[in-house]
């Protein structure tokens, strides 16, 4: 079996001891981690040798919450996250239309509510692109802003009812205003665009996502809205490579609230069948995904108390509908992941998990709650007691996208926004991720926000509640070992230790020596997955401190 010696680096193991000089890889596993002399002896005279030249090596990142096909599609759309005014958004849309005059529709992503002078309207888009449908996903992907042509393509009129768990924005006269919230975006826009996409389109999206992740040092992912089309696309990707993938994919199957208990439970049963059928080291269905509420920026997250404007939102999954679904999934051995951004939603999620414990008995479940942006202090303690993973996204707390979020909550609740260290202090497992494409997918800027609470988008913003910043070494562990633990793979990957998967990333800068700020400049120069170099930077970069 082939052996490779990676020698003379600064290797952070996410284990004890925390640092090593060299690694020996045998096949797809790590055979030795330690000093260079010991590594030479373990490697033997016939091993291939890679000089690390003092560079930092980290365990391969696991993005513990992402949306793979959607991310690949988003990378091909007009980016709007850094457009800070309506005029800038309109200029980009006009330029995109001019660049592709034959396009049947225009797709954009990432706009922010606080970039607009008021509520988004179809007329704002019509002013620059009126002849074809325009679909613009908000930064959080929980709302879609469309023009008049898109409303016509979707068949939405004043008589169209709001779907369960969603809302069609309407003006004072009751006419659709161009905004679609929550399930209205999913059921109208996403289904329309999926119907227009081909298998070839999805294959391109998958390959684009894989390439982007490998270039970022990500060796494993957890998809949080898998469906039939996504499963088929990743099976084709594996078939193109003889049955394996370049990255490790764990998936949670999306389960929608249909309003009917039997139909909801049928989705759980389907997922249990898939978990038995789709179970390889490269592609595995682990559980279900439930979206309990929306987002704070659009005031669709379910809160215990109203927003600053007096509004509030009902949960998409009321507790009576949620409990049987969670209990059935738990009984089937599935992991349950629940999107819960508002403090009322996270409380409902924990109530449902307590019910599952009561009816199914105690065991290691590894259920998880996603986002937890505004959470009651007593629920932090309850989450830890129940052994629930806190799955959180540092980039969602970037100060550059904070102002509208904080304004909707008010100072008192905003002061406890994204309280990462409260979860670890309570003893909970904290897994970091990006939720791409709702935020940039790159791992290193995510670590920067996690360890500083400063902006990776705009350095002029002050730190956002730095008391919740996580030390760099801990942040790396949350993005590697703990992210792997969130999908029950902490004994397989996430550390650089003997017997673990040979998944790691080599950086061109050392953030431990030079400080966290270099994470914004650092690049991954090599990504190794299962002992094979899956990505190598096109040009060598000089060693730097």
List, for residues 255-288, the tens digit of each pLDDT value.
999 999 999 999 999 999 999 999 999 999 999 9
Element (H, E) at 483: helix 481-485
Any idea which architecture 254-485 has in CATH?
Answer: Alpha-Beta Barrel (3.20)
d(CA 359, CA 259): 23
List, for residues 292-331, the tens digit of each pLDDT value.
999 999 999 999 999 999 999 999 999 999 999 999 999 9
* Average pLDDT taken over every residue of the chain: 96
d(CA 465, CA 484): 27
DSSP state, 373? S
Strand, coil or helix: what is 473?
helix
List, for residues 496-524, the tens digit of each pLDDT value.
999 999 999 999 999 999 999 999 999 99
Strand, coil or helix: what is 392?
strand
Burial (CB count within 10 angstroms: exposed 0-12, middle 13-18, buried 19+), residue 161? exposed
List, for residues 442-473, the tens digit of each pLDDT value.
999 999 999 999 999 999 999 999 999 999 99
d(CA 98, CA 248): 39
Q: Residue 194 has what pLDDT?
A: 87
d(CA 110, CA 445): 17
- The mean per-residue pLDDT over the stretch 202-221 comes to 98
Which neighbouring-strand residues pair with 168? 180
Is the distance from CB of 344 to CB of 373 less than 8 angstroms?
Answer: no
Name the E strands within 418-512: 430-432, 504-507
- The vertex-430 CA angle with 427 and 432, nearest 5°, equals 165
Q: Residue 543 has what pLDDT?
A: 47
Q: Residue 1 has what pLDDT?
A: 84
Task: Note the CATH number of domain 77-196.
Answer: 3.10.310.70
CB atoms within 10 A of CB 36: 15
Return the residue matching tokens 């500083």.
452
List, for residues 378-431, the tens digit of each pLDDT value.
999 999 999 999 999 999 999 999 999 999 999 999 999 999 999 999 999 999
DSSP state, 501? B
- Residue 397: which of 350, 430, 348, 445 has the closest Cα? 445
Q: What percent of the chain has pLDDT over 90?
A: 95
Domain ranges within the chain, ordered by starting residue: 3-60+500-536, 77-196, 254-485
77-196 and 254-485 in the same fold? no
pTM: 0.93
Element (H, E) at 135: strand 134-138
Phi-psi region of 12 (alpha: psi -120 to 50; beta: other; left: phi over 0): beta
pLDDT category, 216, cuts 50, 70, 90? very high
Superfamily of domain 3-60+500-536 in CATH is Urease, subunit C, domain 1 (2.30.40.10)
């Amino acid at each position: 079996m082939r052996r490779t010696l990676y020698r003379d680096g600064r290797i952070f193991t996410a284990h004890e001891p925390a640092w090593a000089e060299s690694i020996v890889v045998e096949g797809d596993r790590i055979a030795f981690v330690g000093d260079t002399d010991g590594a030479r002896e373990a490697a033997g005279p016939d091993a291939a040798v890679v000089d690390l030249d003092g560079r930092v090596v980290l365990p391969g990142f696991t993005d513990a919450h992402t949306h793979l096909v959607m991310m690949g599609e988003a990378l091909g759309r007009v980016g709007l996250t850094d457009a800070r005014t309506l005029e800038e958004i309109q200029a980009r849309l006009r330029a995109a239309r001019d660049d592709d005059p034959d396009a049947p529709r225009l797709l954009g992503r990432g706009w922010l509510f606080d970039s607009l002078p008021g509520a988004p309207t179809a007329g704002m888009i019509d002013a620059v692109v009126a002849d074809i449908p325009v679909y613009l996903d908000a930064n959080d992907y929980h709302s879609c802003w469309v023009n008049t042509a898109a409303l016509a393509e979707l068949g939405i009129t004043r008589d169209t009812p709001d779907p369960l768990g969603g809302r069609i924005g309407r003006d004072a006269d009751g006419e659709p205003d161009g905004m679609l919230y929550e399930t209205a975006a999913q059921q109208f826009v996403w289904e329309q665009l999926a119907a227009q996409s081909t298998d070839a389109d999805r294959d391109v999206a998958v390959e684009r996502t894989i390439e982007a992740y490998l270039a970022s040092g990500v060796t494993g992912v957890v998809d949080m809205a898998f469906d039939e089309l996504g499963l088929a696309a990743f099976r084709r990707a594996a078939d193109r490579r003889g049955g394996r993938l370049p990255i490790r994919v764990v998936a949670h199957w999306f389960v929608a609230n249909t309003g009917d208990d039997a139909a909801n439970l049928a989705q759980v049963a389907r997922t249990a069948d898939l978990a038995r059928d789709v179970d390889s080291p490269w592609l595995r269905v682990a559980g279900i995904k439930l979206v309990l509420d929306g987002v704070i920026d659009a005031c669709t997250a379910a809160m215990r108390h109203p927003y600053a404007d007096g509004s509030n939102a009902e949960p998409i999954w009321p507790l009576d509908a949620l409990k049987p679904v969670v209990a059935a999934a738990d009984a089937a051995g599935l992991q349950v992941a629940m999107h819960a951004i508002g403090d009322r939603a996270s409380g409902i999620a924990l109530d449902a998990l307590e019910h599952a414990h009561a009816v199914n008995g105690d065991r290691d479940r590894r259920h998880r709650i996603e986002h937890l942006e505004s959470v009651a202090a007593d629920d932090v303690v309850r989450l830890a007691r129940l052994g629930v993973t806190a799955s959180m996204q540092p980039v969602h707390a970037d100060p550059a996208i904070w102002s509208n979020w904080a304004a909707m909550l008010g100072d008192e609740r905003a002061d406890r926004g994204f309280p990462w260290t409260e979860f670890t202090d309570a003893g909970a497992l904290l897994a970091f991720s990006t939720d791409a494409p709702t935020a940039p997918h790159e791992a290193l800027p995510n670590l920067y926000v996690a360890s500083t609470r400063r902006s990776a988008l705009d350095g002029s913003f002050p730190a956002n509640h730095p008391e919740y910043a996580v030390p760099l070494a801990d942040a790396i562990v949350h993005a590697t070992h703990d992210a792997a633990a969130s999908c029950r793979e902490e004994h397989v990957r996430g550390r650089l230790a003997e017997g673990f998967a040979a998944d790691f990333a080599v950086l061109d800068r050392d953030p431990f020596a030079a400080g966290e700020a270099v994470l914004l400049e650092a690049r991954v120069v090599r990504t190794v997955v299962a002992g094979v170099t899956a990505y190598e930077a096109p040009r060598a970069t000089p060693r730097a401190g």
